[in-house]
Structure 1
Amino acid sequence: MAGAPVPAALGVAAARVGERVRTARTRRLEPDTPLDWSNPATEALVVPTSDGVDLHVEIDAPAAAARGRRHLAGRTPTAVLVHGFALTMQSWVLQRRELVAQGYRVVSYDQRGHGRSGRPDLASCTVDRLGRDLAQVLEATCPSGPVVLFGHSMGGMSVMKFCAQNPELVRERVLAVALVSTSPGGHEVTELGLGRLVGRIVGTVGPGVLTRLSRHAGPIGLVRRMGKGVQDVVVARWAFGSPVSPATVDLVAEMIFGTSFDVMAAFLPDIDALDLVPGLRPLLGVETLVMNGARDLITPASHSEEIVRHVPGAEHVVVEEAGHIIMLEHPELVSQQLLMLVQRAQRGVAEGVPAGSKPRVRARVQDISKRRRSARRRRGAAS
């Protein structure tokens, strides 16, 4: 009991430092953010997997007017969005809205152990299993017709593994694939942008540490709330490469810290040992977009280059001033790239041009609209 005042004092100090950091950062951050992050689904359902995990799935159906616009382009594919490690389907919320507005049916789901999906046996926390989960989501929500698959980070790994597991289905039904801020595997993914030496130490001891932390989630949550400003700076550093709103940082933090520590721990060794390159062959005939941020600390451009090297015809788009969670940092640009991908794929089918026969396109793009908004705000603040 004699030592109790010390942790309490440290907690108060952390709270004060955190609040100062948060206040200072808020002055620099972009206030440009949606009024709310909700996206009421047309339909919500539970898809049970073959090993007994209930996956929370949501379907967004476009209005009749939007469907009519899409009908002109031929048979409209269903867009399936797969989120990344320690995130949820909420990370795709802005793309869901835009895709539905453009007339596409959209399927999103929380991967096992994440968000509102069921808690799995920790031994089943593998990318191989995530690929099979995606197959079961497709079977339950769009058993026929063309689909486009959009995967971010670990969700991109899920998509690549699904393609390797189901080459015939990919050939028959997958119109296009977007692999956003992802990697075909390797040690660098679990280095978490900390550098090779420190990152390898974290990657090695991290799973055990996270598992132990999971037994003390209550106290950790309390410390997290007391030091929220510090937490926000850390989240923003690893998630983004440019200023974003405090609400956006909060959204990402809630997803990350809402994920069970032991589920995170269980996935890390599998990701560390992953090699998805041999399974990329089914993508050779599929219109493919590989996209990442120039300031991504988790999966830098070299990871995307490895995918592009094995998928002739894939477009590689690097976004300047962008970090890992690029869909929330530059939502309009990402949505535009996804829509352009689907349109290219539809045009290729209509014209009979195989995706693999097209020249590779590499582009570095910049979110000009965001830069202009930032400049206007800075001028307004100065005046």
Structure 2
Amino acid sequence: MRLRNAVLAIAAGATGAALAGAAAGVAHQRRVIAHRDAGERVAFGSLRSPALTVVADDGVPLHVEVDEPAPRVDGATAPAPTVVFVHGYALNLDCWHFQRAAYRGQLRTVLYDQRSHGRSGRSTEEHATIEQLGSDLARVLEEVVPEGPVVLVGHSMGGMSVIALAESHPELFGDRVVGVALISTTAGGLEPHRVLVPMVPRTLGGQVAVRVVAALARGHRVVEGFRRIGRPLALVATDQFAFGSDVPERYVAFVDEMLSRTPFDVLADFFPAFGGLDKFALLDALGTVPTTIACGTKDRITAIGHSRKLHAHIEGSRLEEFEDAGHMVIMERHAAVNELLDDLIEAAVA
């Protein structure tokens, strides 16, 4: 009888703990859900935290911002992951507006401007490579997330940075890195001219496009002048190539502003890196952690086929295709993308 009572007491305690844990999890998830539309309530580019500087291994200063979580009131003690967002080509950390707003105060998030982009320092041309971007990400983790679990979220060139990190530091995956999201990106096979459409005619491909971009870069001041004069046309092009469906005008203007603030010679520095990218055979580390792949079916930059190929090469990965969405799916379908990230974070810490 004494043993039976002890067993019942243990079972009751375990049940109570499980219920308490479930209640805490539900309470936290309700707060997350309540914040999913937070980005609609604040102006683009207005989300800021005190700036940090991480110096890359070649001396380039990287602009980093960290959003710390609000104190938990539900008594939960399990360490939540730090989510690190890595932006794409010709953009800056502000492109994560809707994700940053949704997780602000909920989780520790790290955002940074990739080299030569946004507020980060300018890279030399020889270090404008995908491999260097992977090294930069490693430095950010080392300096800003020295301990605890990490979920990496990369969009476009940011996804390539994550893949480069997995190539150079596979030991981090499954240990420090517990989850990965690759959004509108690829590990290779990208037609370089697609990255700069419509600046470069679609009939130009491969080395021809590289030579044209290099020539334009040498006269980048003239190009910048044409970019300013042609802003109305550029706005229309941004709408066509960044989005797959009708979005509010302010979305288009915000993306166009980020693009226009990236000097053309910076675009030219990174341009050759896309044509030579071939890392599909180097994705094993990503198969050791929950990995979510997402892309719009109308992505004109990194077409949906790239994401399907990533899915085929990464064991156990999840592929989510967003019908009629374009390259900036993180804005165009931000609520659904945030739900995907919720699922990934839950799987990563399970």
- Once the two structures are superposed, what CA deviation does each residue of 1:16-69 show, in whole Å capped at 9, x if it has no partner? xxxxxxxxxxxxxxxx955511344333111111101111111111222xx445
Instruction: Output the amino acid matched with 2:326.
Output: G
Give the alignment's Cα RMSD to 1 decimal.
Answer: 2.3
Counterpart in 2 of 1:121? 124
Counterpart in 1 of 2:82? 78
Specify whether residues 175 and 61 from structure 1 end up closer, same or farther in structure 2 by C-alpha distance, changes over 3 A only.
same
Partners of 2:209 and 2:150 in 1: CA distance: 37
Instruction: Output the amino acid matched with 2:55.
Output: P
Specify whether residues 296 and 142 from structure 1 end up closer, same or farther in structure 2 by C-alpha distance, changes over 3 A only.
same
Counterpart in 2 of 1:94? 98
Unaligned runs of 5+ in 1: 1-31, 348-383
Q: Determine helix, strand or coil for the equivalent of 2:236.
A: helix
Specify whether residues 209 and 261 from structure 1 end up closer, same or farther in structure 2 by C-alpha distance, changes over 3 A only.
farther
Partners of 2:42 and 2:218 in 1: CA distance: 36
Unaligned runs of 5+ in 2: 1-38
Counterpart in 1 of 2:54? 47
CA contact (8 A) 1:79 1:150 kept: yes
CA contact (8 A) 1:94 1:331 kept: yes
CA contact (8 A) 2:325 2:333 kept: yes
Q: Determine helix, strand or coil for the equivalent of 1:171.
A: coil
CA contact (8 A) 1:242 1:321 kept: yes
Counterpart in 2 of 1:260? 263
Identical counterparts, % of pairs: 39
Q: Determine helix, strand or coil for the equivalent of 2:175.
A: helix
Match of 2:107 among 104, 116, 136: 104
Matched, 1:159 2:162: yes
Instruction: Output the amino acid matched with 2:91.
Output: L
Q: How does 1:1-383 map to 2 (within 5 A)?
A: 35-64=42-71, 67-68=72-73, 72=76, 74-101=78-105, 103-188=106-191, 190-192=193-195, 199=202, 201-214=204-217, 216-347=219-350
TM-score by length of 1: 0.76
Q: Determine helix, strand or coil for the equivalent of 2:191.
A: helix
Q: Determine helix, strand or coil for the equivalent of 1:324.
A: coil
Partners of 2:171 and 2:136 in 1: CA distance: 17
Partners of 2:76 and 2:337 in 1: CA distance: 23
- Once the two structures are superposed, what CA deviation does each residue of 1:211-267 show, in whole Å capped at 9, x if it has no partner? 444455555444434433211111111100011122211111121121122221122
Partners of 2:77 and 2:308 in 1: CA distance: 31
Partners of 1:216 and 1:193 in 2: CA distance: 17
- Once the two structures are superposed, what CA deviation does each residue of 1:64-100 show, in whole Å capped at 9, x if it has no partner? 2xx445x637210000000011111111111011112
Specify whether residues 218 and 261 from structure 1 end up closer, same or farther in structure 2 by C-alpha distance, changes over 3 A only.
closer
CA contact (8 A) 2:295 2:320 kept: yes
Partners of 2:109 and 2:42 in 1: CA distance: 22
Aligned residues: 311
Alpha-carbon shift at residue 171 of structure 1 (Å): 2.4
Q: Determine helix, strand or coil for the equivalent of 1:172.
A: coil
CA contact (8 A) 2:193 2:201 kept: no
Moved more, 203-212 or 87-96: 203-212
Specify whether residues 262 and 55 from structure 1 end up closer, same or farther in structure 2 by C-alpha distance, changes over 3 A only.
same
Alpha-carbon shift at residue 194 of structure 1 (Å): 6.9
Partners of 2:344 and 2:315 in 1: CA distance: 15
Alpha-carbon shift at residue 203 of structure 1 (Å): 4.3
Counterpart in 2 of 1:17? none
Partners of 1:123 and 1:200 in 2: CA distance: 27
Moved more, 180-189 or 233-242: 180-189
Specify whether residues 33 and 233 from structure 1 end up closer, same or farther in structure 2 by C-alpha distance, changes over 3 A only.
farther
CA contact (8 A) 1:214 1:260 kept: no
Partners of 1:265 and 1:226 in 2: CA distance: 20
Instruction: Output the amino acid matched with 1:106.
Output: T
Partners of 1:73 and 1:341 in 2: CA distance: 20
Specify whether residues 230 and 160 from structure 1 end up closer, same or farther in structure 2 by C-alpha distance, changes over 3 A only.
same
CA contact (8 A) 2:193 2:204 kept: no
